[in-house]
Amino acid sequence: MSQAYDVYNDRCPTRMVLDRIADKWAVLILDRLQDGPVRFNHLRRDIHGISQKVLSQTLKKIERDGLVSRTVYATVPVTVEYALTPLGRTLTETVRTLAHWAEKNMDAVLAAQQAYDAATAPPR
């Protein structure tokens, strides 16, 4: 993280953006949209564990951030498609590097956790 801004202080704009990135559901949604527009209930089905309420809220947030677009089709019943904006696409691309890290180092993290637990819990 660059020191161009005072990242550790409140009112830091970078920190503000970090708040948004640090949203698990938002990241998952952004990722799911990478292959093209997806409808509301389709997202709901694909992202297991998300409630329709949280999905709705999160979509609104990232739409406000300019990361996704919302397109309503006057079909009956109505159809709504969410898609990445160009800005959103640049973000998912950098998020990809995080995912790669996760896949590569997951085993190491798991091992570390087990070691930690073994070193702290067993005294019992």
Partner DNA sequence: CTGGATCCGTAACGATACTG
Partner DNA sequence: CAGTATCGTTACGGATCCAG
Binding site for a copy of itself (CB under 8 A): 1-2, 4-5, 7-10, 13-24, 27-28, 31-32, 34, 46-49, 63-67, 87, 90-92, 94-103, 105-106, 108-113, 115-117
Work out how close the CB of 119 gets to a copy of itself at its nearest, in angstroms, rounded to a whole number.
10
Give me the sheet containing 38-39, strands edge to edge: 38-39, 79-84, 68-73
β-strand partners of 82: 38, 70
Is residue 49 a contact residue for DNA (CB under 7 A)? yes
Burial 61-96 (b: 16+ CB within 10 A, else e): bbeeeebbeeeeeeeeeeeebbebbeebeebbeebe
Work out how close the CB of 46 gets to DNA at its nearest, in angstroms, rounded to a whole number.
12
Is residue 42 a contact residue for DNA (CB under 7 A)? yes
Nearer to DNA, 77 or 107 (CB): 77
Is residue 79 a contact residue for DNA (CB under 7 A)? yes
